Amino acid sequence: MTIQPKDPRVEFVFLARYIEPAFPGGNTLNVTELGFHDLYAAEGKLPAYWRLWIVGRIQWRSEDTDRKFRIRYAVRAFNDNSEQPSLVGSYPVTIEAGQPSPFPHHASGLMPAQFASYLDMTMPAFGTYVVDVLLDGMVIASAPFALVPPDNKM
């Protein structure tokens, strides 16, 4: 299995340890450990339960105008023959492509949409995993990470 090709509307997708609003009512987030790749299982116990966060931004096309989209998530082992993890909780997001942009660098004339969600997952073994981002059921981006034992010298 491989990482899915990215939809050209996706500007970025990153995994993070934690996110929180930078100030009440704002669109700005404080993000901890943005873009990490390795999770160290401190106690070495399996299966391992983790809460991760995912953040991303989508640049809309003109044909997306006034449409609502549902963003969901999936987690899988990188290799098909590996034990598969379980996504036990997440926060699907509905976003709309309709806010006009006053900025000339937004070619579609629409403001981009940012999304953020938590992912609660259980991983049965040490190894490489992938979080897929789905827009209306289609994979638009993927973010790989590894669950490594506490004595790993990577």
Residue 153 included in any domain:
no
The one-character DSSP state at 56 is E
Does 5 reside within a domain?
no
Helix (H, G, I), strand (E, B) or coil at 115: strand
How far apart, in whole angstroms, are the C-alpha atoms of residue 144 and residue 54? 12
What pLDDT does residue 19 have?
A: 81
Specify the CATH number for the domain of residue 40.
2.60.40
Mean per-residue pLDDT pooled into runs of 10, the chain (154 residues): 71 86 76 78 84 91 92 90 88 90 91 90 91 92 90 65
Structural domain includes residue 154: no
Question: How many separate domains does the chain show?
Answer: 1
Give the pLDDT confidence score for residue 29 in this predicted structure: 78
pLDDT at 18: 82
On whether residue 49 sits in a domain, the answer given is: yes
Structure confidence at residue 4 (pLDDT): 56
Return the number of other C-beta atoms located less than 10 Å from residue 51's C-beta.
Answer: 13
